[in-house]
Amino acid sequence: MTSYRLVDAADFEGRRKPVARELGARAVKLNQFDSQPGQGGHEHDERESGQEEVYVALRGSGVLRVDGEEVPLEPGRYVLVEPEATRQVVAGPEGLSYAVVGAVVESGS
C-alpha cells in the first residue's frame, strides 16, 4: 500500500468538489468550489461542528464575507475563519475557484 492518495479536480462534476472525502482523509476537511461570476455560496457558520476554516483562492477573485465584513479573495491570500463567525463567498466578475480547508478546534487549543 502506498503512503499517499491522489485525486484530480478535473474528475469531479459540479461546483463543489469533496476532495478530502475522495482522498479518504480522516482528520481534515477539504473542498474545492468553482463559482461563476457573481455566484455566491450559502451563508453559514461552523458553531455546531467547531470547525475553523481556511479559504484560499486558486483562480479568479471574489470576496469572503465574514460577519458582514468583505475580505478580498485572490490567489496567494489565505483567510482563517473561526467557527463562530458567519461566512459567505461571492465570486468576482471573472469567477472564482477556491479551496476551503477545515479542522475541528480541540478544546484548550
Domains and CATH numbers, the chain: 14-104 (2.60.120.10)
Q: How high is the pLDDT of residue 85?
A: 98
Cell triple for residue 91? 465570486
pLDDT, tens digit, for every residue of 47-84? 999 999 999 999 999 999 999 999 999 999 999 999 99
Provide the 8-state DSSP code for 10. G
SS3 percent helix, strand, coil of the chain, rounded to 5, is 5, 50, 40
DSSP notation for 47-95? TTTTEEEEEEEEEEEEEEEETTEEEEE-BT-EEEE-TTS-EEEEEEEEE
Enumerate long-range contacts of 3-10, CB under 8 Å, 24 or more apart.
Answer: none
pTM listed for this prediction: 0.87
pLDDT, tens digit, for every residue of 23-55? 889 889 999 999 999 999 999 999 999 999 999
Amino acid at 34: D
